Amino acid sequence: MQIERDEVSGQNTTGHEWDGIKELDTPIPKTVILAYILTILYSVGYWILYPAWPYIDDFTRGLTNYSSRETVLVQLAEANSLQTDRNQHLLDRPINELAEDPSIRDQYETSTNVLYADNCAACHGQNLKGQKGFPDLTDASWLWSGTPEEIELTIQFGINSGHDEERFAEMAAFGRDNILDKDQISSVIEYILSLSGQDHDKKNASLGAPLFIENCATCHGEDGKGGPEVGAPDLTDRNWIYGGDSSSLRETIWNGRKGEMPAWDQRLTPTEIRKLALFVYWKSRDQRK
């Protein structure tokens, strides 16, 4: 064991030797050691300025008395009051008037798109076209009416959401609960296919007509057009939430339907809800043109 000086690097060896191989003992560069000491000093400064050490029933609060929660609450309160000031006019004017005011649209459409993406797009899609089980907002069929006021109410209280003011609609499970038997359901399906102008079996559809009047017309209307009074879909158009082919209709009639939209009045502010109602109204109107 002998520490020697290495001629090439000018450093000492560790003194160990393995099969003729010796190891250099190069010290850590001074700058690295200095940086290391600085980080330690930095942490000491941090302890003095910021909350750091816990003790029995409290903690050291530091000279700045910083609290992340307090800081963010102040930021939120500031943003909130600014938004309230800026957006108050949205709540002061009737929503129908806002909907037809192009300057409102120019001002809010882009920012509301973000709000829509965060909260609504999961079900109704980024393009508002919906998907199976979740309604298309761009077609002309509205379960609960497509006026800006009614859209706003739907967003506020939801559909079958459990909210006290919810819009409630439930389609019975005609098959599962033995209200109609299999043959009767087949006839009703043929009748619905005929209502919506699809290929159907004429004889069977005529058998389905009285069954439809007896069981379905209370909600969907004798003409099958449904209506926003009860939130029943129009069966005569080509827009289907759960599919309009024979097997989808069988599934729907057999098990019933009770689509749900959450209420947003606890999660979003009145201004946010109003902006979303306007956004949905504008976008859906555009796509129908």
Partner 1 sequence: MPTSHQKLESHSLKFVIMILFVASIGGLVEIAPLFTIDNTIERVEGMRPYTPLELAGRDIYVREGCYACHSQMIRTMKSDIDRYGSFSLAAESMYDHPFQWGSKRTGPDLARVGGKYSDSWHLAHLVAPRDVVQGSVMPGYGFLAATPLDVARMPAALKAQTRVGVPYTAEQIEKAELDTIWQADSEAENEDALFARYGEKVNVRDFDGNKELVSEMDALIAYLQMLGTLVDVKALEKEDVVR
Q: How many residues in the shown chain lie near partner 1 by CB under 8 A? A: 32
Residue 270 contacts partner 1 per CB under 8 A: no
CB-wise, 88 or 131, nearer to partner 1?
A: 131
Smallest gap from Cβ 133 to partner 1, in A, equals 6
Work out which of 23, 214, 260, 286 binds partner 1, going by CB under 8 A. Answer: 260
Work out which of 112, 119, 141, 194 binds partner 1, going by CB under 8 A. Answer: 119
Smallest gap from Cβ 231 to partner 1, in A, equals 15
How many angstroms separate the CA atoms of 62 and 238, rounded? 67
Dihedral angle computed from the Cα positions of residues 122, 124, 129 and 135, in that order, rounded to the nearest 10 degrees: 140
Residue 154 contacts partner 1 per CB under 8 A: no
Residue 224 contacts partner 1 per CB under 8 A: no
CB-wise, 49 or 74, nearer to partner 1?
A: 74
Residue 50 contacts partner 1 per CB under 8 A: no
Smallest gap from Cβ 252 to partner 1, in A, equals 13
Residue 60 contacts partner 1 per CB under 8 A: no
Q: How far is CA 2 from CA 23, 24, 207, in A?
A: 11, 12, 107
Work out which of 26, 60, 65, 67 binds partner 1, going by CB under 8 A. Answer: 67
Within residues 17-36, the interface with partner 1 by CB under 8 A covers none
CB-wise, 49 or 79, nearer to partner 1?
A: 79
How many angstroms separate the CA atoms of 10 and 27, rounded? 12
Residue 6: CA count within 13 A, CB half-sphere:
14
Residue 164 contacts partner 1 per CB under 8 A: no
How many angstroms separate the CA atoms of 129 and 138, rounded? 6
Work out which of 71, 88, 96, 198 binds partner 1, going by CB under 8 A. Answer: 71
How many angstroms separate the CA atoms of 185 and 165, rounded? 33
Work out which of 72, 82, 91, 140 binds partner 1, going by CB under 8 A. Answer: 72
CB-wise, 69 or 202, nearer to partner 1?
A: 69
CB-wise, 132 or 289, nearer to partner 1?
A: 132
| CB-based contact 124:130 (threshold 8 Å) | yes
Smallest gap from Cβ 76 to partner 1, in A, equals 6
Residue 243 contacts partner 1 per CB under 8 A: no
Number of neighbouring beta carbons within 10 Å of residue 7: 6
How many angstroms separate the CA atoms of 242 and 99, rounded? 30
CB-wise, 30 or 132, nearer to partner 1?
A: 132
CB-wise, 147 or 255, nearer to partner 1?
A: 255
Q: How far is CA 153 from CA 4, 21, 54, 124, 157, in A?
A: 86, 82, 50, 17, 6
Rule CB under 8 A: which residues touch partner 1?
Answer: 54-59, 67-73, 75-76, 79, 118-119, 122-123, 125-126, 131-134, 259-262, 266-267
